[in-house]
Chain A
Amino acid sequence: MRVGRILSVVVATAIALLLVVGIWEGYKWVGQQTGDYWPGTSIDLPASTDDLTMPHAADIAEELFEEVRDGRARLPLFLFLLKKGWFTLQEAAIGFTLGLTVGLGLAILMLRWRVAERGLLPWINVSQTVPLIALAPIVVTWGRQQDLPDMLSISLIAAYLTFFPVAVSALRGLQSPDSDHVELMRSYAAPWWTVLVKLRLPAARVYLFPALKIAATLSVVGAIVGEISIGTKTGLGRAILEYAQRYAVSPERLYASVIGAAVLGLLVFGLISLAEWIVVRRTGEVTS
């Protein structure tokens, strides 16, 4: 039965992928027939369909196997992206861990002191309205003054995106045990800390995992945006920036690197889903 489930996921993914390629190529074909107008009208299509704006899906796929320069060496684009992605993944992982720690810490603080909840929660919400692009140079400037490596500054930027969903959902989860459970622990004269460890934290897991999936993908986004705004010499963000500048020459490369970023996001999403399955599903708990 488990094999069947994995198989159905694989099939669904393949169908979804084919569907995207089909829509992409279908749209392109229609545009090519009508000269970029909606069929039968003289209204412009939202995006033109020439090979520069919308390269063929097959060309993008082919580009993945083209050789590119990496320092002195030459290697296929997909390997190059994998190498850069590995670097970005490390930044994202550090950022994710930092964000998780800070988010959980804030949630526990807000749980312990209602005053902290009233005082902190609005600021936590406001924090996410600051545009990341504006924040990134500030973080880097501060980081360089403190002799932090740029990689860590990027992780900090990733953490900035990550801590938010963790803090909000962890607080909800920590507050989720119903009065029976809380009274039970009170009847055992359990101190606050014990209630946290034995009751509130385990109860919060069901709330935490959906947020962790969002946080993990956000940490990748944060790392890439951080790389782009800092101007690092390596990483997936750097590759995207470079290929964006050379878009007129080979648009396929930019698309390929964007696919690389998407795959990285899917990978971390998958890793957290796996962790969720191991920790939560097998106990028969209902996930929200």
Chain B
Amino acid sequence: MSNPVLAEKAVVVDGVDKVFNVGSDSEVAALSDINLTVEAGEFISLIGPSGCGKSTLLRLIGDLLAPTTGALTVFGKSAHEARLDQDYGMVFQHSGLFDWRRVLANIELPLELRGWSKADRSARSAEMLELVRLEDFGGHYPRQLSGGMQQRVSIARALSFQPKLLLMDEPFGALDEMTREHMQLELLRIWRETHTTVVFVTHSVPESAFLSNRVVVLSPRPGRIHSVVDVDLGERSDDTRQDPAFFAKATEIREALRAVEGGG
């Protein structure tokens, strides 16, 4: 189903509904009538109150869940094909590293599953460690690292096979404020260096404004797209956080959130 027009688009979500436990007493409508297009190279955030289905939407894009109705395409392929072709990398809130593998072996896991040779794996994982600036920690076990460092390893693992799309589910949610801000800058640097498309789930207003080209605000039960806020703040740096334009955007997103929470 490769479509030359859609091929420019990283993700197309077309009329998607998601209902859990269809037909049973515990039936829940998680998402309703979602239409969304993510351009290649874009950094897009999904934000909304808990229960709005933002993580569900991310999992639908990753084909970790199947939509009840509607269709999703990733780089012109069905989400299912895209997963089988491993077109995306995934980062979770808790780094999801394997405790029994050293940092390098964790980064090499997806490469190992793809049957890369040992030499190629080593070369790439070293490159990835450099990208996330953890050159000295390749031989460590995850438990010996701080939360922020673990999350960097997780990002390195997700990018190790150079996917065109990065799906991130509240990756900095468990980090302290200082580490979080630092990681945001790091992520933007990596995003620029790798030209990856990012779909980023968060519940932090400043985080979404700081990182994204566009912020998708979802309303809860069932999750619908309330509004999409364009954010154009140019090249981000720590100074952006004091920029009035940044505050204005954060306020705009916050007001949209208030509207959905009040009306929800």
Contacts and interface: CB of A to CB of B under 8 A. Distances in A.
Interface stretch (A3-11, A181-189, A212-220): A181-189
A183 B64 contact: yes
A285 interface: yes
A194 B114 CA distance: 11
B159 to A, nearest CB: 13
Interface in A62-113: none
A47 B109 CA distance: 62
Query: Chain A interface mostly helix, strand, loop or mixed?
Result: helix
B204 interface: no
Contacts of A178: 94
Given A183-B92, A187-B64, A187-B83, A284 B113 contact: no
Interface stretch (A25-33, A139-147, A198-206, A226-234): A198-206
A190 B98 CA distance: 15
Given A184-B92, A187-B64, A189-B84, A285 B99 contact: yes
Interface in A162-190: 178, 180-181, 183-184, 186-190
Contacts of A198: 109, 112-113
Interface in A267-284: 280, 283-284
B99 A194 contact: no
Contacts of B133: none
Nearest to A183: B64
Most B Cβ at <10 Å: residue of A186, A203, A205:
A186
Given A194-B113, A284-B143, A202 B92 contact: no
Interface residues of B, number: 24
Interface in B72-110: 83-86, 88-90, 92-94, 96, 98-100, 109-110
A180 B96 contact: yes
A283 B141 contact: yes
B90 A187 contact: yes
Contacts of A186: 64, 83
Interface in B130-151: 141, 143-144
Contacts of B100: 202-203, 205, 280, 283, 285
Nearest to A177: B98
B49 interface: no
A199 to B, nearest CB: 7
A285 B64 contact: no
- Sort chain A's interface into a size bin: 20 to 34
A186 B80 CA distance: 11
Most B Cβ at <10 Å: residue of A178, A184, A199, A203:
A184
B97 to A, nearest CB: 9
Contacts of B62: 187
B251 to A, nearest CB: 34
Contact of A184 (B85, B90, B99, B143): B90
A284 B84 contact: no
Contacts of B92: 180, 183-184
A280 B100 CA distance: 8
A48 to B, nearest CB: 55
B107 to A, nearest CB: 13
Given A188-B113, A189-B84, A190-B113, A202 B98 contact: yes
A178 B94 CA distance: 10
Contacts of A180: 92-94, 96
Contacts of A280: 100
Nearest to A279: B100
B90 A183 contact: yes
Contacts of A187: 62, 64, 83, 86, 88-90
Contacts of A205: 100
Nearest to B85: A189
A252 B90 CA distance: 67
Contacts of B144: 284
Contacts of A181: 96, 98
A281 to B, nearest CB: 11
Nearest to A189: B84
Contacts of B109: 188, 198
Contacts of B89: 187
Contacts of A283: 99-100, 141, 143
Contacts of A199: 98
A184 B90 CA distance: 7
Contacts of A183: 59, 64, 90, 92
B165 to A, nearest CB: 11
A178 to B, nearest CB: 8
25 contacts: A180-B93, A181-B96, A181-B98, A183-B59, A183-B92, A184-B96, A186-B64, A187-B64, A187-B83, A187-B86, A188-B86, A189-B84, A189-B85, A189-B86, A190-B113, A198-B112, A202-B100, A203-B100, A205-B100, A280-B100, A283-B99, A284-B141, A285-B99, A285-B100, A285-B143
Please list the 8 inter-chain residue pairs (A to B) with the smallest Cβ-Cβ separation, ordered nearest first: A180-B96, A284-B143, A180-B92, A187-B90, A189-B84, A202-B100, A285-B99, A284-B141
